[in-house]
Structure 1
C-alpha cells in the first residue's frame, strides 16, 4: 500500500488545514498562467518560476505584492469580496473556482464545531425514482454519497445495496473498485470529475469529519487520487455524454443530466438516458427486461430474460 498523504492533510486525524488549502489553491492557479497569457513579457529560459510571479499577479489584481503574498500564505484576514473578485479575474478563474476561492478565504464562522447534518432522501423523492422506469436515476449528496437509486441505476452501475453504507460513495467506487475502471470508457475523466466535486465540498464544509476522513483514506490508498487531488482543480460537471463498457450489454452511450433539489441544494438528482432509437436505448430496454438479474450477473452467462 502506498503511503504518501496529501500535503496539508493529516490522515491520522482526518483534518484538512484551511490555510494550506487556500495557499495551495492560489499557488496552483497562479502557476498555470503564462506571462504571455495576460500580456506580460516572458523571459523564456531565464524565468525561474512556472507561471506568474506573485508580484505580477498582485499587479494584475490591483493589490500590493505584500498583501497578496500574505493571502497566498494563508494569512489573509478580513479579505473583501472586491479583492477576491479582482484576484479571481486576474487568475482567470471559472465560476466554480471563484466560488471555491471565496469559501476558502472567507469560511463561515462558527462559535463551535457545527454538527454534520444527516443526509436524508424524502419519501416522495424515492417514489419519483421508482417511477422513472427505464431511466437510470439516483440521488447524490455531500461527499458524492449515493443516497438513493432506482432499479435501472443498479442494472447499469451495479447493485449498491450489496455494499456497506460507507462504500455507497462515488469517490470510493471510482478509485477503490477495479470494476469501475472497466465500466467507464474514459475513467480518467470520471475520476477527475469526482475529485473536482469533492474539492468543492471540502471548501464548503471544511469541518466535515467524514469528508476529511474520506480524503485521508483515499490519499493513503490510491496514487491516482493523490495525483488528481494535488491539482486543486474544481469544476461543476455533471452533464454530458458518458460512454460505458457494460459487462452484459456492451457499449452504452448515455446522456447525463443533473438537477439540484430546490429544498436541499446539497442533493442532486442524476439521470442517464440514451438517444431514442439508438443501440444504447435498445441495450437499456434489454437490461430493464432482465430486471434484478442484471444487477447480480457476473462475468459468466448473461441472466435469463424475463417476460
Structure 2
C-alpha cells in the first residue's frame, strides 16, 4: 500500500513537472521547427540533384508561429479583455464615484444616485462589452489553440493521422458532450456537504478536465477515439491530475468567472505544447479511477436515443 501511494504521488509530481515544460521551451520550439523545415528543404533539393533534374520550386512552408499565436492569445485575453475589466472596475467606477461625491457632497442624494448608478453601469458594461468580447475571444482563441496544437504536433510527432471526416465530426461532437457533462459533474460533487470534500473533488475533476483539454489535440492527431482517450486518462489518473493541477489552481484564484477565463486562455497554449512534449508513465496506475463512468453512460444513452429518433424519422 505504501509503495502504491508513493507511486501515485510520484506520478502526480511527474505530471506537474511536465506541465511546466511548455513555458520553458516556448522560446525555442519555433527555432527547432525552422531548423527541421530547413533540413527538409535541403534534403528535397539534394534528391532532385541526384535524379539529375533541375530543382523544382517547392511551395514555401509556413513560417513557424507558435510564439506568435501565444502572444496573440495574451494580447487579446490579457491586453484587451482583462485590461478593460481592470480599467472599468479600478479606474472608471472609482472616478465616477468621486465625481458624484464632488457634485453632490456627502449626502443622502449622493448615496441614492450612486446606489442605482453603479449597478446600471456594471450591467451595461457587462452586456455591451464583457459578454460579447468574452465570447469572441473564446472563438478566436479556439482557432489559435488548434493552430498551436497542429504546429507543435508536427514538430514532435510528425504528420497527423486523422480519421475520415464523418468519424472526425462525430468524435468531436461526442468529445464536446463528454466535456460538458463532466464539467456539470464537477459542479455537482462540489455541493457535497462535507467540509473540504466537495472542493477537493471539484479540484480533482478540474485537474483531469484540464489535462483532457490539453492532450486531446494530440490524441485527435494520433487518431485516438473518445473511449481510448478516456480509458487512458482513467488508467493514468495520478499523472493527469498532476498535469492539470497548476492550471486548475491558477484559474480558481480569481473570484470573477471572466477573469478566470482570461487566465485560462493566456496559459492554456503552454499546456498544449507541454502535452506534445510530455513523457507519460508507461506503467499505468494499479488503482484506475473510473471517474468518467457516469458521463460515458449518459453519453451512450443520449447517442442511442438520437440514433433511434433518426431511424424513426427515416
Q: TM-score, normalised by structure 2?
A: 0.28
Structure having the higher strand fraction is 1
Choose between structure 1 and 2: higher helix proportion.
2
Q: Which has the higher contact order (CA 8 A, sep 6+)?
A: 2
Give the TM-score normalised by structure 1: 0.28
